[in-house]
Amino acid sequence: MTLNGWLQILLFCGIVLALVKPLGAYMTRVFAGERTFLSPVLVPIERGLYALAGTSEREEQRWTSYAFAMLAFNLAGLLLLYGLQRMQGMLPLNPAGMAAVAPELSFNTAVSFVTNTNWQNYGGESTMSYLTQMAGLSVQNFVSAATGMAIAVALIRAFSRASGKALGNFWVDMTRATLYILLPICIVLTLAYVALGVPQTFGPYVTATTLEGAQQTIALGPVASQLAIKMLGTNGGGFFNANSAHPFENPGAISNMLQMVSIFAIGAAFTNVFGRMVGNQRQGWAILAAMGVLFVAGVAVTYWAEASGNPLMHAFGLEGGNMEGKEVRFGIVLSSLFAVITTAASCGAVNAMHGSFTALGGLIPLINMQLGEVIVGGVGAGFYGIVLFIIVAVFVAGLMVGRTPEYLGKKIEAKEMKMAVLAILCLPLAMLVFTAISSVMPSAVASIGTAGPHGFSEILYAYTSAAANNGSAFGGLTGNTPWYNVTLGLGMLMGRFLVILPALAIAGSLIAKKTVPASAGTFPTDGPLFVGLLVGTILIVGGLTFFPALALGPVVEHLAMLAGQTF
C-alpha cells in the first residue's frame, strides 16, 4: 500500500461526501413535488405522462396498491424485454445481424435487468443488437433504478408521516425519479464519456487490419448512453463483455473516477433525503456513518490483500502486489477500490476480474453482497435494505433496556420485526440453498473453471451476486446453461421482490402509527452509540449466516495459499 493509493481513495470519498447534501436537497424537492430549475421544461411532460397512465400527482395509494402497481409494472417490463430478445433477429437496428436469444438466456437476462441485477450470461457485443441494448436493456436500467428509488421514498414517508394511510403514488414517484434525477444527470454523463473517448454511434462494427495482416472486428455502438445509466442507476450491465475493464467503456483514470462516483452518488444522497424528510438531518448522517465504517474497512482489507500479493508467486522470486486480472491503466488501488464500491452498491460493473483477486481480496466483495448490499447499496434499494437492519438494531436495544423499541417516534412491534426478519432471511435462502444444490449436482459442478475451494467460491459468488441483485461474477463459471440461467433468475426475483414486499408492508404499518414524543428513556439514534450498534447488528447477522460457507471457499483458499498449496 502506498500514500498515493490512499490519497486516491480519500479523493473518491471526499467527492462523494461533497455531493451528499446538494444532491440530497434536490432529490427531496423532487419527491415532495416542489419546483426545481427543471420544472419549466419537465412539468408539462410529467403531467402528460400522468394523463396517459390515468393517474394524478394528487392521488395516493395504500401500501397494497403501491405494491400491486410496482409488481404489475415490473411484470410488464419483464415480458416485453423477453419478447424483444426473442424477436431481435427480425427487428431493425441490428447491423451485426444478431440472431434471436435462446429462451433460457432470454429469461435470465429479462429477470436480470428488471430486478436491477444485470447479471450477464452473454457477451453484449456478440449477442445483443443495438435495439435490444437501447430499447430493452437501457430502458430497464432507468426504470428498475427508479423502482428502487420509489420504494425508498415510500418507506421514508412512513417515518415522516403520522396516523396516515397512503405512502404516495408509485407512478408519480417512479416518473419523478426518472425525469428529474436519472435522465438529466445521465445526459451530462453521456456527454462527458463521449468527450473522454467512449463510442456513441449507430454505425456498424469496424473491420481493421492488424500489422500482421489479420482481420479484426472492432465492436462499436451506443455505448456512452448505456454506460451513464448503468453506473448512476447501479445497474452494472456492460455494453461489452469485459464491462468497465474494456477501454471503450472505461478509457482511463478520469472516466474510472467518474464511474465510481456515479455508483455511490444517489445511494449516499438518500441518507440526506431521509434526514430532511423526517426533519432531522443528523439521522441521515448517522446512517451514512455506519455505511462509511463498513466501506472503509472493506477497502482497507481488499487494498492490503491485493497490494501484499500472492506468497506462492513470491516463492518464485516474483515480488510485488497481485496484478493478475487487472488493467495496468488502473493498477491495484483503483481496481481494489472499484471492486469494493461495485459490491457495496448493487452495481456489479467491474474494471478487473474479481476471480483473480487473492482469497481475502475476493472475500470482501462476497461479504459486501451477503450483508444485503446496505453499504450505500443500490439506488433506493440500499436505503430500504439498511432500514431493515435498523429495525432489528433498535429492537435489540429495546430488549436490553426493557422498553418497547421505537425509531423516530414510531413503535417497532411484532409485525415490523416479522417483516424485517422475513426480508433479511430471504437472501441467505436464495444464496445458500442454490449454492448447496449446485455444489453437488454433477452438471452444475461441470460449469466451474477451477477445482477446490476457488471453484466452490465461483458458485457461491454467482448465487450471492444474483440474490443480492449485484450482477458481478468471479469468472470461470460457465453460467449460460439451462440450470444456471433458470436458478440464477429465480434467485434474482427472490432477492428483489421478497425484500421489497416486506419493506412496503412495514411502511404500511408504520405510517398508520402515531408519533410518540422522545423522552428520557428514548434510545438516541443519531449518535456514535447507534452507529456502533447498527454496524454490529449487520456484521453479526451476516457473520452467523454466511461464515460456514465462506470458510469452505475463500478462507480455506487463503490458508492453503499461506501453506504453499495449490489446487
Residue 543: closest CA among 370, 385, 402, 390: 370
Residue 217 DSSP class:
E
Please name the residue that has the C-alpha cell 455511490: 264
The helix/strand/coil state of 544 is helix
User: Would you state the pLDDT for residue 184?
Assistant: 97
Looking at residue 375, its amino acid is I
Residue 273: closest CA among 360, 202, 206, 176: 176
Is 402 a residue whose pLDDT tops 80?
Answer: no
Is 124 a residue whose pLDDT tops 80?
Answer: yes
Residue 217: closest CA among 392, 95, 300: 95
**Cα(263)–Cα(337) distance, rounded to whole angstroms?**
12
> Which segments within 378-480 are labelled E, that is strand?
406-407, 410-411
Is 476 a residue whose pLDDT tops 80?
Answer: yes
Q: Which residues of 16-47 are buried (b: 16+ CB within 10 A; e: fewer)?
A: beebbbebbebbbbbbeeeebebeeebeeebe
Residue 221: closest CA among 119, 121, 138, 338: 138
Is 4 a residue whose pLDDT tops 70?
Answer: yes
Q: Which of 23-27, 198-202, 397-401, 477-481 has the lowest mean pLDDT?
A: 397-401
Is 207 a residue whose pLDDT tops 60?
Answer: yes
> Which H or E run contains 207?
strand 206-209
User: Would you state the pLDDT for residue 567?
Assistant: 56
Q: What contacts 392, CB < 8 A, 6 or more positions away?
A: 417, 420, 421, 424, 537, 541
**Cα(391)–Cα(34) distance, rounded to whole angstroms?**
30
The helix/strand/coil state of 527 is coil
Is 493 a residue whose pLDDT tops 80?
Answer: yes
- Read off the pTM: 0.94
Residue 112: closest CA among 452, 445, 488: 488
**Cα(300)–Cα(314) distance, rounded to whole angstroms?**
22
Mean pLDDT of 187-202: 95
Alpha helices in 55-138 (DSSP H): 63-86, 103-114, 124-127, 130-131
Is 121 a residue whose pLDDT tops 80?
Answer: yes
Residue 547: closest CA among 370, 290, 344: 370
Residue-wise DSSP of 280-323: -HHHHHHHHHHHHHHHHHHHHHHHHHHHH--HHHHTTT--S---
Mean pLDDT of 554-567: 79
The per-residue pLDDT of the chain, averaged, comes to: 92
Nearest 10 degrees: Cα torsion 402, 408, 413, 417: -100
356 within 8 A of 310, measured Cβ to Cβ: no
Residue 495: closest CA among 82, 112, 81, 77: 112
Mean pLDDT of 545-567: 84
The helix/strand/coil state of 15 is helix
User: Would you state the pLDDT for residue 316?
Assistant: 75
Is 237 a residue whose pLDDT tops 90?
Answer: no
The helix/strand/coil state of 536 is helix
User: Would you state the pLDDT for residue 373?
Assistant: 85
User: Would you state the pLDDT for residue 264?
Assistant: 96
User: Would you state the pLDDT for residue 261?
Assistant: 97
Please name the residue that has the C-alpha cell 454466511: 546
> Per residue in 270-329, pLDDT tens?
999 999 999 999 999 999 999 999 999 999 999 999 999 888 777 777 778 889 999 999
Mean pLDDT of 445-451: 88
pLDDT band at 96 (very low <50, low <70, confident <90, very high): confident
Q: What contacts 66, CB < 8 A, 6 or more positions away?
A: 154, 167, 168, 169, 170, 504
Please name the residue that has the C-alpha cell 402509527: 513
Identify the sign of the CA torsion 552, 558, 562, 565. positive
User: Would you state the pLDDT for residue 153?
Assistant: 96
Mean pLDDT of 360-371: 94
Q: What contacts 42, CB < 8 A, 6 or more positions away?
A: 179, 180
280 within 8 A of 526, measured Cβ to Cβ: yes
> Per residue in 242-261, pLDDT tens?
999 999 999 999 999 999 99
Is 354 a residue whose pLDDT tops 60?
Answer: yes
Mean pLDDT of 329-345: 95
Residue 476 DSSP class:
S
Is 116 a residue whose pLDDT tops 80?
Answer: yes
User: Would you state the pLDDT for residue 41?
Assistant: 95
User: Would you state the pLDDT for residue 565?
Assistant: 62
For 342, list phi and psi in degrees, rounded to 5.
Answer: -70, -25
Is 471 a residue whose pLDDT tops 60?
Answer: yes
Domain residue extents for the chain: 24-204+217-280
Mean pLDDT of 351-356: 92
> Per residue in 61-76, pLDDT tens?
999 999 999 999 999 9
Residue-wise DSSP of 19-44: HHHHHHHHHHHHHTT---TTHHHHHH
Identify the sign of the CA torsion 485, 366, 325, 210. positive
User: Would you state the pLDDT for residue 566?
Assistant: 59
Dig out the grid coordinates for 83 from the structure: 419478447
**Cα(426)–Cα(422) distance, rounded to whole angstroms?**
6
Is 549 a residue whose pLDDT tops 90?
Answer: yes
Mean pLDDT of 109-132: 93
